[in-house]
Amino acid sequence: MTQALAADEFVQALSTHGPALWVLASAWVGRSEADDLVQETARVAWQRRDQFVPGTDARAWLSQIARNLGANWRRRLRPIPADETPEPAARLPLPAPGWPFDADRSELPDDLATALRDLPEITRACLLLHVTMQMTFPEIATMLQIPENTAKSHAQRARIALRSALAHRLQPTKVARP
């Protein structure tokens, strides 16, 4: 039987990897829900700390918990199919357009926010972890449990999609000369 992750090791892992978990959570469920998802990740990880295998990557373990919780989170907020629609009073509010990325609250220019929001979740996560957290692709690959080259490919696809979506901003404007 493996020994549970000690309380001080757990706190250290969470404080070290918390910012990256938040970026991952924001890519999965949006910025407005990211704090709650990270908190739920910490709660579940604490309850399951005896399942952590000593010597393995704590960030990957915490990230997997966050990803699983994030998937469940989104399923709960998914619109209900018409043939299973409950009484109107029992309906959950539908997610905002562009769910799960909460670009409106990020104070980005509208076209950039829309382009980020439209990226697939894993692609957006790879780009945000690399750009905002300065994580290397091997670190992202470990965190997301994907091959390193896949992490690179996702980030590259994100860059290409953003460049295409923002091409109108990159066009030089002609200035009338006196």
Q: Where are the domains of the chain?
A: 7-77+95-168
pLDDT tens digits for range 101-147: 444 455 667 777 778 888 888 899 899 899 888 999 999 998 888 99
Torsion of CA 13, 15, 16, 19, to 10 degrees: 120
- Residue identified by tokens 């409106």 is 104
Phi and psi torsions of 51, nearest 5°: -90, -10
Q: Tell me the pTM.
A: 0.63
| CATH class, 7-77+95-168 region | mainly alpha
How far is residue 65's CA from residue 170's CA, in Å, rounded to a whole number? 39
Task: Provide the residue type at 88 as one letter.
Answer: P
Q: State residue 176's pLDDT score.
A: 55
Q: By the 8 A CB rule, do 158 and 126 touch? A: yes
- pLDDT averaged per 10 residues in sequence order, the chain, 178 residues: 77 90 85 88 92 88 90 70 45 37 56 82 90 91 91 94 81 57
